Homo-oligomer: A and B are copies of this chain.
Amino acid sequence: MHILAFGEVMLRFTVADKMMLEQCDNLHMTTVGTGVNLLSSLSHFGYDTSILTVLPDNPIGKKAAADLRKLGISDKKIIYQGKSMGSFFVELGQGARPERVTYQDRLSSSFSQMSDKNYNFEKALAGVDIVHICGISLSLTEKTRSAALKLAKMAHEMKKIVCFDFNYRMSLNEDNTHETMKTRYQEMLSYVDTIFGSKRDLTDLLDYQETDEKKLYQQFCQDYQISFFAGSRRTFIDDKKYFEGFLFHHDKIYESSPKELNILDRIGSGDAFASGVITGLLEKWDFVDTLEFAIANSVLAQASMNDSPIFEKQDIFNYLDNKGTNDLIR
């Protein structure tokens, strides 16, 4: 089983020792991105993975590629061109002080400036079973949007399973009208089988009016011939935080139990959930088991540093078996 992800690879700079940017000059650098996080997790679950992206042709790009290999992701399909990567700073949170993310420029990156004509999608898809595309590509530049759609279309036509993650960010689309974005997403949706998103994506971005959750998902999946629609959400009960997931398939909503969160680093929680769901679908697990697994993967990932989950299946099963009460493994 080989999974290919297409998307932006970014540098993440985490301020050391839970300090804030103004307080500390020590950073911990990691190589991340929605595709990276997803493939890292899938690779640790035992699948072959590779990423289709563009990295700068300089020591930064080489460093990023080394990091991807370390996460278990093949770097054979990476294109080296240009000089820049998108990056962001992370200040970890504590209690009521939220984790804070500040982005540097993403639009001038090697990835954002790569024309769709310079990709060899056919070659990239050879031997691939599943393709994952992140919605961010629809927001960055005309070039990334065009490449993402082209790849999705081709993969769809080649009968690959196409996964898509809404990942809609208002802040990245201040210059685009609602209609523009809606149209882009609609085109993408016509090619995909498995979708990660939220109710809000359907109502706010795609303008669905339906208020009943089940009917809403039904209508959405019918309209675009989606096989699976899944998502995660966080809830607050008695000052405690919980994480839970749903999966819509064939007119039915499946739900995980809520699992308590004890957050060290929240970023990438959705990617961890998505890789868990994909794993369950690949393994043809019961849907609720799949969701339990996916939420557990995400809860563990949020209790860990960095975006990219590196848990093995057995780590997740251990967590589920002891309901998260174990505090020492030897």
Contacts from A to B (Cβ < 8 Å): 13, 16-30, 58-60, 62-63, 66-67, 69-72, 83-85, 87, 89, 91, 93-105, 107-109, 171, 234, 236, 239, 241, 259-264, 266-267, 299-300, 303-306, 310, 318-319, 324-330
Establish whether residues A329 and B98, one from each chain, have CB atoms under 8 Å apart when the complex forms. yes
Instruction: Return 11 A-B CB contacts under 8 Å, by A number.
Output: A22-B310, A26-B28, A83-B105, A93-B303, A95-B299, A96-B300, A97-B300, A97-B303, A100-B328, A102-B330, A266-B328
Task: Tell me how far the C-beta of A182 lies from the nearest C-beta in chain B, rounded to whole angstroms.
Answer: 22
Q: Which of A18, A20, A89, A171 has the most CB of B within 10 A?
A: A20
User: By the criterion CB–CB under 8 Å, are B84 and A105 in contact?
Assistant: yes
A3 to chain B, nearest CB (A): 17
Q: Which residues of B contact A103 (CB under 8 A)?
A: 83, 330
Q: Which of B16, B94, B319 contacts A303 (CB 8 A)?
A: B94
Chain B residue at minimal CB-CB distance from A103 = B83
Please indicate the chain B residues that have their CB under 8 angstroms from the CB of A319 in the complex.
Answer: 96-97
Copies, count? 6
The 10 closest A-B pairs by CB, nearest first: A95-B262, A96-B324, A101-B330, A84-B105, A70-B70, A97-B303, A21-B63, A105-B108, A27-B27, A69-B69
Tell which of B13, B70, B305 touches A66, judged by Cβ atoms closer than 8 Å: B70
B305 and A18 form a contact (CB under 8 A): yes
User: Beyond A69-B70, A87-B104, is A62–B325 a contact (Cβ under 8 Å)?
Assistant: no
Partner of A107, one of B58, B104, B108, B241: B108
* C-alpha gap A29/B24 in the complex (Å): 9
B261 touches A95 (CB 8 A): yes
Pairwise interchain contact B25-A101, C-beta atoms closer than 8 A: no
Which residues from chain B contact A303 at a C-beta distance below 8 Å? 93-97
The chain B residue with its CB closest to the CB of A97 is B303
A100 — which chain B residues lie within 8 A by C-beta? 59, 328-330
Q: Which of B83, B104, B266, B330 contacts A84 (CB 8 A)?
A: B104
Chain B residues, Cβ within 8 Å of A328: 93, 98-101, 266-267
Q: Is the CB of A98 within 8 A of B326?
A: yes
How far apart are the CA atoms of A206 and B123 in the complex, in Å? Answer: 49
Nearest to A236 among chain B residues (CB) is B325
Q: Which residues of B contact A102 (CB under 8 A)?
A: 58-60, 330
- Contact flag A327-B60 (CB < 8 Å), given A27-B27, A105-B84, A261-B95: no
A94 touches B22 (CB 8 A): no
With A and B bound together, what is the CA distance between A75 and B8 in angstroms? 26
Separation in Å of the A165 CB from the closest CB of chain B? 16
CA A18 to CA B83, docked complex, whole Å: 23
The residue in A22, A300, A318 that gathers the most chain B C-beta atoms within 10 A of its C-beta is: A22
Which B residues are in CB contact (< 8 Å) with A261? 95
Q: How far is the CA of A319 from the CA of B93 in the complex (A)?
A: 13
The answer on a CB contact under 8 Å between A327 and B260 is no
Bound together, the chains give a CA A319 to CA B100 distance in angstroms of: 13
